[in-house]
Amino acid sequence: MYHIAALYKFCQLENPSELKNELLELLANKNILGTLILGHEGINGTISGPKEDIYLFIKELRKIIEFGDLDIKFSNSTKNPFIRLKIKIKKEIVTIGEKNLNPIELKGDYVEPEDWNALLAQEDVFLIDVRNNYEHKIGKFQDSVNPKTNNFREFPEWVKSLGLDNEEKSRNKIAMFCTGGIRCEKASSYMKREGFETVYQLKGGILKYLEKIEEKKSLWKGECFVFDERVSVKHDLSEGSYDMCHACRMPLDSLDKESEYYVKGISCSNCYNTKSNVQKKRYASRQLQVDLAKARNEVHIGPKNLLSPKSIK
């Protein structure tokens, strides 16, 4: 069983490169995979590994003064949802593309998962799914608005397209949700900056809601997309039923895989007409290598040496 930790924290980091080296040292002797993103605005990422290694790393991470109250969601998986360990340094730890946006100073009000249903029961609440269109399609809160964005950078333009004046912005009560909470930090900060006075965000995101709320009391419908090899999770954060098209990275259900355009590892109905023959041949070659590695009980792609920080890029 693999233990998974999804984490983030907006905070001022003076030297992300120096912190990266420090984290590499902490991870060097641990069997942990995943991705961590560092920037001057904080940390974001998801990691997996044996429970003992994950808890020890989190304990060490929280000793770093900026990460004492790190936001973390834990879950489990029968398979490792990652194939390598990466630590990246980026301008934004979650990219919305808006300048001078600071969730540390300005953002929406948190709503605990236990209080979320009561908020949604109010008739004057405008509920927004901050995630991408393909995420919304496989699971959502009932009556939520889908901005139909392809990536998070499109969210500000969608807000502008609503065409609300200042009076309407002040009158509307906004509630928003995303996978683990981090996109709502940026989205709520943007909406507050644009004049929306009352903005709420689900604390801990969908993942925390699915962990805390019993399925019989839940307003969540479907599964929650996650950005790793699990593809999706259900209530209580158990592994979901979706697979992924490794050509376009879209989630696929059983009906999608019955399509004439679906070829494992090569194409699906979402991307068949957008991929060239050269690309399809490349995907086919990759899938063959994956199948051969699986037959030999090997991993096709992964770190060469988990114990060496030099192997981590």
- Residues labelled catalytic: 178
* Three-state SS sequence of 165-177: CHHHHHHCEEEEE
Rounded to the nearest 5°, which phi and psi values hold at 244? -125, 140
Determine contact, residues 227/216, Cβ cutoff 8 Å.
no
State how far the Cα of 234 lies from the Cα of 236, in Å rounded to an integer: 6
DSSP-assigned letter for residue 9: E
Q: Dihedral of CA 137/141/42/26: which sign? A: negative
State how far the Cα of 35 lies from the Cα of 88, in Å rounded to an integer: 8
* Integer CA distances (angstroms), 174 to 36, 159, 185, 258, in order: 30, 12, 13, 39
Determine contact, residues 242/253, Cβ cutoff 8 Å.
yes
The residue type found at 190 is Y
State how far the Cα of 233 lies from the Cα of 304, in Å rounded to an integer: 29
State how far the Cα of 213 lies from the Cα of 215, in Å rounded to an integer: 6
